Amino acid sequence: MAQMTGLRVLGGVVLFAAGLALSSCTSAKVKTAAMIPWVDLAPVTTTSTTTTTTTLAPAAPCVAGQLRASKGPSGAGLSNIVTTIILANVGSTCRLSGYPDLYGATATRAPGPISVHKSGTYFGNLVDANLSSGKHGQLLLGTGDACPALNQPSQARIRAIQRSDTYQNVTIVLPQGRGSLRAKVTVDVACGLDESQLGVRAPTPDQLNSPPGTPQSLEATVHVTSSINSATTLRYVVALSNPTHVTMTWHACPNYSESILTTPLTFPSQTFTRTYQLNCHAALAVRPGHSETFIMELPIGRVRHSSEAKFSWQLDTGYGPYAGRALRVFATG
């Protein structure tokens, strides 16, 4: 049974016990209004860019001849490893999006397709972007180092597995037949391989100068259960607060994205993602020191293995706001 701390449930909707403010962690006291109900609103067409937020039509898709691939930084956490491939645009503005196919060869495997889960990585996913000339996009490749394949009693056996499963170069085949390019990266797929979509990282608020009075100047706080059964619907609350001195008026309702990424130690990860249009038609302008709170829903598919998971929520302005937390997803069936 999923556990709620400091929460109560009325009519299937998560509500907060008296005395718990729905606000961001800011120095100013934030006043909240009534909760705004969740409505199943289809997302509107918008595009993120590396420099501005825009609702203009997406640029033409990037083709291989416009991009140059190089190895970017790597990272690790909780037995998960991420390798970043940098994609530099050397041509005209184009749209970077979609999940590519991967090809390669190992010391014991002939060149061929690499099995990959196109679901984002433990370290997150990327967002579509109009990539102008000279700008950089990315592709994230996620692997692990704590699965049974790499925990054999014999070091000779481990070395043989690594020799069989380590790719020294990876060919990226762009979606929809837009060509391919090679990246000089080393990837060990013994514990499986996850990939992000092609795109850019969603910036964090402290990396941006979000103008007061815009949706991206708001701060988001999620209030969500610490655990949930799979094959159910996660119901939670997001509070959008205004820490600035300028009233934020909803001129158009932006999209928002929500996702859960499971992180089992010995099995492939699973991602459950939805994008909707925010029900801001029912919201008020967010005055300085005030907030609007929205009830949210996210359907979760069935998982076979219980695990820790990463929950994330973002307003799809290209600049956030963003919020998230860790929770646990229990297997069902």
Predicted pLDDT at 31: 53
**144, 265 in Cβ contact below 8 A?**
yes
Provide the CB-side half-sphere exposure for 64 (13 A, CA).
Answer: 14
75-90 residue pLDDT tens: 877 778 889 999 999 9
DSSP 8-class letter at 158? H
Higher pLDDT, 296 or 12: 296
**269, 119 in Cβ contact below 8 A?**
yes
Distances (CA, A) of 122 to 102, 207, 287: 19, 22, 36
> How far is CA 189 from its chain centroid?
22
Average pLDDT over residues 229-256: 94
Predicted pLDDT at 53: 37
pLDDT at position 33 over 70: no
> Token match 């509070």: residue?
239
What confidence tier does 149 reach under pLDDT thresholds 50, 70, 90?
low
Beta carbons within 8 Å of 147's beta carbon, 6+ residues apart: 190, 191, 192, 265, 266
What average pLDDT does the chain have? 81
Predicted pLDDT at 124: 85
Separation between Cα atoms, residue 264 and residue 267, nearest integer Å: 5
Share of residues in the chain with pLDDT > 70 (%): 82
Burial of 55 from C-beta contacts in 10 A (0-12 / 13-18 / 19+): exposed
pTM of the model: 0.49
